[in-house]
Structure 1
Amino acid sequence: MKNVIKIIVSDIKRLSTNVVAMVVIIGLTVIPSLYAWFNILSNWDPYGESATTNLQVAVASSDEGIMIGSVELNVGDIIISNLKENTTIGWVFTDTAQDAVNGVYSGDYYAALVIDEEFSSNMISFLSGDIENPIITYYENEKKNAIAPKITAKVKTTIEREVDHAFVSTVAESLLKGGEYFATLDEEGNITGAGINKLEQLDSDLNGMITILDSYIALMDSTESISEAGEAITDSADTITELAGTMAEESQGKAAGVKDDVEQSKKNVDRKVENLNEKLSAVDSDVNTLNEKVAGLSLDVNVDYEQMQQSVEKIQEMWGTDQDGIYQLLLNVDAPDTEEGALAKDAITEYANVLNELISGLDEDVTDIQSATTKGEEDFNTAKEALVNNVAGILACTKNIRGQYSSLSSVGQEAIDAGSKAVEEVEKLINYNATSIDLVADNLDNYAVIMEQSKDSLVKSRDEAVEMESQLAALIAEIKAIGQNEAYQKVMELLQSDPDLLSDFISSPVDISDEYIYPVENNGSMTAPFYIVLSIWVGALIMSTILKTTVKDTTGMDNLKNWQCFLGRYFTTFVIGQIQTIITVLGAFLFVGIQCEHPFYFWMACAWTSLIYSLLLYSFTYSFGNVGEALSVVLMVIQVAGAGGTFPIEVLPKVFQVLYKFMPFNYSMNALRECIAGFYENTYRNCMLILIIYGVIAVFIGVTLYHPFKILNEKIESSKEKSGILI
């Protein structure tokens, strides 16, 4: 062990006294960290909206639209309008489809979307039965960048989904709104109820028709009697005409009188409202005067309490409880026989009773103030406050009464207006023209001609009507049976629900709820394990290439063993590797700002990884020389390609899926991922333990295989020197 320590001390002295060596060592500690930091930053958030908006995708619509009735529909313009509000991609809206396609060929745009000329007409082609799928052509420049097409390809799926959603939503909404119309056709609640009513009315009309036809057939045998009856009816019609004329004249006169009565009632209501408002205003005026006097009350001021008492008596006299007093007028207020009228009258009565109590107690309040002037300031202020509160209550009640009475007057006015309108309608109804009866009489005169029709035709018509009525009755029974069907009831419930809500559900029935397990804030933090592990390997590779592994100066070292040389010279590599690691980790936290749930364990995993990688690559170079350096590069290339740092291992070729389990990158990255996003059971511990295997392999290679490969390494070195070119 003494020899190991002597080698370490010797290396430290040589490095500390050589300026060039120190500069190289400083570079070795910084360069790998820069590699990790800048790669993480370049991958920080390439799929975020702030980044993807810089990817230009051209959009052009050649849709000519279509006329549906008098309405023009252009789905292409609707898509363009919606995309202008979408900020996930850098949309470029060109004037023509050719401009968009040419931009993709030239590399100005990563992709282009061109809406077909017949897009709108094909969208609704299902209505004609000749279905044509609407087409949006997607052009993509895959030469410009390897990843960009994968990002812009999502645009194609997004637009297809939005168009499908809009189409299904519109169709579903239209159908459901139509169903809603049938489901709420009339007061019966659905089309079945309305249809049964119409059919039953038709059935009744057919029965009436059959009865009339039976009468005609019976009357055919007594044409003469019918003719005489027609003459009698004509005479009666003349009498009815004269009577109708007289009735119309009398009704018009009475209608005018009723209108006058309605107008007079309106005027009476207006006078009552005006009279009550005047009396309430007079009360308010006297109460306000009293309020001003009360406000000026003070022990230091002489007050004429007799005059104040007279003001109170005046208010009480106007309020009065006799027949002409305001109180009685309010209690006996006329209210329309409606719910609104009853509520308003109850409110007026309640306010009137409260106001009656307040006004009745005014004289007592004045007496209390007068007697309190001899008791002290506190009693005086208490009595004054009681009078002030009562006065405020009176003013509030009168204000509320006015509001309620105004409401009552409004309700009454509506009732009067309705009555006046009803009178006008009655006047229209009774003001008919007697010529209508004359027309009936003329038709009766022609009944004799009708009776001359063929009796056989009447019998045939009557039989057809009976058959029709029988079939109609059966149809009504079947429809009523449908209305009781449970499935039909469910359809009606569906049609009576919200069409907009159902159309949204049909067009998009599944709502995805995102639940992130071990969430990571950004893509940079996700890729950090790969680039940090790779930088540690690169740092170890550079050290194994630059630093010498053989110990040539053995002065003062007795019985030097190979394993002592191996461990003694490795110490320098170990220290530099740990400095590289701490700089890289601190920069990732403080400069780059990656997410990390467990920073301390993150550093431990990186430090442990640096120990294992530097030991492994050092042993390659120590035992195999230049062949070991080449082997280190090959292992790095294989792990960069197949360790699952950028793509899931499952999508890589089979050979990488097999080698993946043997790659140290795998376990180092998984340990760092545990620290970044959160621990799961013993994953972190297991990864750290597995890395020990590579450390054991490294020691075995360095200690055991050095001598077997020593002769080969010497020959390789000799050949390199003879070349005059290789170092």
Structure 2
Amino acid sequence: MSNIFRIYKRDIINIVTNWAALIVIIALIILPALYAWFNIKALWNPYGNTSGILVAVVNEDSGASINGEKINIGNELVQKLHKNKNIGWKFVSYEEADYGVRYGKYYASIVIPQNFSQKITSLVNPNPKKAELIYSVNEKLNAVAPKITESGVTRIQQEITNAFVKTVDDVIFSVFNKLGVELSKEKPFLKQFTDIIMDLDSRIPQINKTVDDVYNQAESLSGFISKVQGQMPLIEDTIDRTQNVVSSGENFLVRARDAMTDVSPFIKSELVSLRDISQGSQGFADNIMDLIDKNPEEARSLLVKLKDRYATSAVRLGNIIQFMDSFNKSDNKTILNFSNKLNTLVSLIQNQVKYIDTIITAIDSGRTSSIDILNKLKENGESITSFLNSLVNDYDGSIAPAVAGIMKESIAALNNALALLANAKSSIPDANNILKNAFNDTKITIDVIKNIKQVLPGVENKIHDIASKLKNLDSSSQLDELIRILTLDAEKESEFIANPVDIKMNRIYPIPNYGSAMSPFFTALSLWVGGLILVSILSTEVIPFKKMAGKNLIQPKLHQMFLGRYLTLLTIAVCQALVVTLGDIFMLKVYIVNPAAFVLFSIFISTVFMMIIYSLVSVLGNVGKALAMILLVLQISASGGTFPIQVTPKFFQVINPLLPFTYAVSGMRETVGGILWGIFLKDIFILCLYLILFLIIGLSWKKIFKNISGKFNKEFKKSGLSSEGN
């Protein structure tokens, strides 16, 4: 490090102590700044100073008339252009305009033809024709001026369109106003009449369908009545038979009720019997548990008998459940609860059968039955006995009365049915008379509907014709809406249609002028140019130290000479960055959101640029200078500093992400318009990669290319064309 700083210190002392070198260095510091300042100032607000761009205007319009009123749109246009200061409009003759455009006095010319107003007003004719403006431009004078004049012509075209639309709409809406006033006077009657006819016309299909339906229904009714009259004797006989059936049913239910008196004790006795069987089975089960180990065969025989007992009990319970469900049609809660308990009991018995089967299987296989399954057999048997005891005890108090109540309700329902049938039978003579009269009336109705069907098509055609004529008055909206639109303010409506949309500008990261917007590009460009000038004028080679009396100086190595001279050039490059950025801020008053970041980032990119340029020139000599110049040219076009990169040819879009200038300009824009840290840090990171990459190239390739570049430069000097002399 001592040799590196010794080289740097010697360079600084040489600059400060040599007035010629000091002047050159100061010039090298200021020159890049001048490059940036002049360009930024020249482009400070180019689109705000377009009044100096002269455009000739020739008005040859002879005017026209519409509804007896003379108009001259060409004259109106010229009056508006007199007030427009965006472009330098010059109102001259056709000859003057033609000569001025050809010889560069005017950038462009606009000729308003003689028939301009006539063609615009041809809208009222059956065959309207578009009007034309003759626009001539001299494109060799300047690349940008034609675009500016073209935007001016587009603006004129828009002004004419708006004026034309407003004028025509004024006339149209004035006529509409008069029509709206007349319609509003007759509105009540016209609206009522229109509504009636339109509604009637819309209902014609429905009326036709209704008439057809009535006719078909009348015929069907006539046939139905005739059939019913023919079936009346059968109906009377059926009622008689039904009365007999219901009477028989009543007698049956009375007998069933009496029989139920005998069935109810039977059910109870069945439950008592099943309880006794269950209690006996418990004793059976105790004996089986004692015999399981002593005499398995005898135990198995007892288990088979016990299983049969439980199976028989389940069947008997199933019969009782089926009987109870068969007559409980009214869903009596007591009966339902009783049936549910019986079902639960059946489930317990089925489980008991399963336990017995398990024990039998164990005996047949010679295995010892588990204590758990034997205990379950015993406990489940006790549950069955307990359940049956509960049912027997509850039977007389709740089940038997519920069954008697259901039977009583069934008999009452049958008595009601008998009464209804008796009333129906007594009403049959009256029904016969009603059917006879209805049949006669239906015949008359059918004849009337036939006459209506014959007359209806003619009426339908007349109504539809009237509705079609009135439809123009109410085709898109109701009459009130039509009158409201017709009576609106004609001037306001025509103004709205001529300019229906206003643009509301939302400026994100606003920059007030073009010069400030271009300052990132020109500032970064000046720093690259500054670095290129430095290596073109100052040498990248380091002279060895002179030997001093009494001192043994260690001569620097290649990498030490490389880094030592880089520090010298970097110091000058940093001064260049400070001068150009501080001049942008304080002298040009460039708009910058974050001035401190603007200055610091400029110093950073100057450091990166200097490393890239210095490495190329230090390693490759004059070839490196050429490469640095080629990089400059490519970066101007491919960095997106002027035009968006998307509008450039594909080649420049491909190399754009590979160029350091891309990220330098992007980072500078962040400091000028407002920093998005994601973008800003990404730019810094990529530029750091360039710095490290070219530092490695400079340090590693310096030795490799030393002899090659040295021979090349030596031969080039012999030509006598080298700037460094022979």
TM-score, normalising length: structure 1: 0.59
Q: Report the equivalent of 1:142.
A: 139
Which of these residues, 59, 67, 71, is aligned with residue 57 of structure 2? 59
The C-alpha deviation readout for 1:461-507, integer Å capped at 9, x for no partner, is: xxxxxxxxxx9999699759967984443222222222222222222
SS at match of 2:185: coil
CA distance in 1, matches of 2:79, 2:585: 44
Is the contact made by 1:3 and 1:557 (CA closer than 8 Å) also made in structure 2?
no
Contact 1:182–1:190 under 8 Å retained in 2: no
Displacement after TM superposition at 1:83 (Å): 0.9
2:526 to 535, 545, 548: 535
Report the counterpart of residue 14 of structure 2 in structure 1. Answer: 14
* SS class of match (2:8): helix
Q: Distance in 2 between matches of 1:72 and 1:486?
A: 36
Equivalent residue number for residue 535 of structure 2: 544
Alignment of 1:570 onto 2:561:
no
Aligned twin of 1:80: 78
Taking a change above 3 Å as real, the CA distance of residues 587 and 480 of structure 1, as seen in their structure-2 partners, is closer
AA of the residue aligned to 2:511: V
Give the length in aligned residue pairs.
Answer: 452
CA distance in 1 between partners of 2:130 and 2:535 (Å): 64
Q: Name 2:642's counterpart in structure 1.
A: 646
Any conservation in 2 of the 1:76–1:119 contact (CA below 8 Å)? yes
Distance 2:182 2:45 in 1: 57
666, 669, 672: which is aligned to 1:676? 672
Q: Secondary structure at the match of 1:124?
A: helix
Which digits, 9 at most, give the CA deviation of each residue in 1:213-238, with x for residues without a partner? xxxxxxxxxxxxxxxxxxxxxxxxxx
Cross-structure match for 1:92: 90
Q: Distance in 2 between matches of 1:527 and 1:622?
A: 32
* CA apart distance, 1:52: 0.6
The worse-fitting range, judged by mean Cα deviation, of 635-644 and 7-16 is: 7-16
Residues 19-58 of structure 1 aligned to structure 2 (within 5 Å): 19-48=19-48, 51-58=49-56
* Contact 2:544 2:556 (8 Å CA) reproduced: no
Three-state SS of the structure 1 residue aligned to 2:591 is coil
User: In the alignment, is residue 512 of structure 1 matched against residue 503 of structure 2?
Assistant: yes
Cα displacement (A) at 1:69:
5.4
Partner of 1:697: 693
The CA distance in 2 between the partners of 1:65 and 1:485, in whole Å, is 38
Equivalent of residue 623 in structure 1, options 605, 619, 622: 619
Inter-partner Cα distance in structure 2 for 1:484 and 1:719: 94
Match of 1:610 in 2: 606
Contact kept, 8 Å, 1:184 with 1:191, in 2: the verdict is no
**Residue in structure 2 matching 1:114, options 111, 133, 158:** 111
Which of 720, 723, 726 is residue 719 of structure 2 equivalent to?
723
Inter-partner Cα distance in structure 1 for 2:181 and 2:80? 35
Query: What are the ranges of 5 or more consecutive residues in structure 1 without an aligned counterpart?
Result: 198-470
Q: Distance in 2 between matches of 1:660 and 1:722?
A: 39
Structure 1 residue 519, shift from structure 2 partner = 0.4
Which residues in structure 2 correspond to 1:458-537 (within 5 Å)? Answer: 486-537=477-528
Q: Map Cα deviations across residues 432-467 of structure 1 (whole Å, 9 max, x no partner).
A: xxxxxxxxxxxxxxxxxxxxxxxxxxxxxxxxxxxx
The 8 Å contact of residues 483 and 489 in structure 1, kept in 2 or not, is answered as no
Per-residue CA distance 1:130-157 (angstroms, 9 max, x = gap) = 2221111000010111111111110111
Query: Structure 2 CA distance, aligned partners of 1:626 and 1:477?
Result: 92
* Aligned: 1:169 with 2:160: no
In our comparison, the structure showing a higher alpha carbon Rg is 2
| Native 8 Å contact 1:188 1:194 kept in 2 | no
| Contact map agreement 2:64 2:121 (CA 8 A) in 1 | no
Partners in 1 of 2:468 and 2:651 — Cα distance? 76
Deviation digits for residues 397-438 of structure 1, max 9, x if unmatched? xxxxxxxxxxxxxxxxxxxxxxxxxxxxxxxxxxxxxxxxxx
Amino acid corresponding to residue 5 of structure 1 in structure 2? F
Partner of 1:663: 659
Q: Name structure 2 gaps, 5 residues minimum.
A: 195-461, 547-551
- Asked if 2 retains the 8 angstrom alpha-carbon contact of 1:566 and 1:703, the reply is yes
Contact 1:58 / 1:113 at 8 angstroms: preserved in 2? yes
Cα distance between partner residues in 2 of 1:26 and 1:722: 32
SS in structure 2 opposite 1:518? Answer: coil
Corresponding residue for residue 316 of structure 2: none
Q: Residue type of the partner of 2:88?
A: G
Q: 1:193 to 1:557 in 2, by over 3 A?
A: farther
Post-superposition shift, 1:599? 0.4
Q: What CA distance in whole angstroms lies between the structure 2 residues aligned with 1:195 and 1:140? A: 63
The 8 Å contact of residues 54 and 89 in structure 2, kept in 1 or not, is answered as yes
Q: Secondary structure at the match of 1:47?
A: helix
Q: Shift in Å at residue 586 of structure 1?
A: 0.9
Distance across 2 between alignment mates of 1:140 and 1:480: 54
Q: Deviations over 1:631-673 (max 9, x none)?
A: 1111001111221111111110110001111111111111111
Alpha-carbon distance between aligned partners in 2 of 1:190 and 1:127, rounded to the nearest angstrom: 30
How many Å separate the matches in 2 of 1:672 and 1:706? Answer: 32
Gap change, CA 1:9 and 1:483, over 3 Å in 2:
closer
2:545 aligns with: 554
- The question of whether the paired residues in 1 share the 8 Å contact of 2:63 and 2:70 is answered with yes
Aligned match of 1:253: none
How far apart, in 2, do the equivalents of 1:473 and 1:143 lie?
70
Instruction: Report the Cα distance in structure 1 between the residues aligned to 2:480 and 2:114, rounded to whole angstroms.
Output: 45
Which deviations, in whole Å up to 9, do the C-alpha atoms of 1:206-258 show, x marking residues without a partner? xxxxxxxxxxxxxxxxxxxxxxxxxxxxxxxxxxxxxxxxxxxxxxxxxxxxx
TM alignment of 1:342-491, pairs within 5 A: 486-491=477-482
Q: CA deviation at 1:538?
A: 0.7
**Contact kept in structure 1, 2:183 and 2:483, CA below 8 Å:** no
Question: CA separation in 2, counterparts of 1:528 and 1:496?
Answer: 57
**Identity over aligned residues, as a percent?**
34
Classify the secondary structure of the residue corresponding to 2:176.
helix
Q: Cα 1:195–1:63, aligned 2, differ >3 Å: closer, same or farther? A: farther
Q: Is the 8 A contact 1:184 1:190 kept in 2?
A: no
Report if aligned partners of 1:64, 1:120 keep a CA contact under 8 Å in 2.
yes
1:680: how far off? 2.1
- Shift in alpha-carbon separation, 1:185–1:550, aligned structure 2, 3 A: same
SS of 2:570's partner is helix
Counterpart mapping for 1:237-316 below 5 A: none
CA distance in 2 between partners of 1:573 and 1:485 (Å): 80
**What is the TM-score normalised by the length of structure 2?**
0.59
Amino acid across the alignment from 1:501? K
Q: 1:8 to 1:495 in 2, by over 3 A?
A: same
Corresponding position: 1:580 with 2:576: yes
Instruction: Report the Cα distance in structure 2 between the residues aligned to 1:143 and 1:664, rounded to whole angstroms.
Output: 35
Distance in structure 2 (CA, Å) of the matches to 1:477 and 1:634: 79
- SS of 1:689's equivalent? helix
In the alignment, the residues of structure 2 paired with residue 650 and residue 697 of structure 1 have an alpha-carbon distance, to the nearest angstrom, of 28
Residues in 1 aligned to 2:94 and 2:469: alpha-carbon distance in whole angstroms: 59
Give the superposition deviation at 1:570.
0.9
Between the aligned partners of 2:661 and 2:585, the Cα distance in structure 1 is 21
Q: Aligned pair in 2 of structure 1 residues 478, 142: CA closer, same or farther (>3 Å)?
A: closer
Alpha-carbon contact 2:640-2:662 (below 8 Å) kept: yes
Amino acid at match of 1:604: L
For residue 725 of structure 1, give the secondary structure of its aligned residue in structure 2. Answer: coil
Summarize the Cα distance change of 1:54–1:126 in structure 2 as closer, same or farther, 3 Å threshold.
same
Which runs of structure 2 are paired with 1:328-343 in the superposition (5 Å)? none
Contact 1:183 1:189 survives alignment (8 Å): no
Contact 1:123 1:133 in 2 (8 A): yes
Find the counterpart in structure 2 of residue 271 from structure 1.
none
* Partner SS for 2:182: coil
SS in 2 for 1:107: coil
Structure 2: distance between partners of 1:8 and 1:550:
13
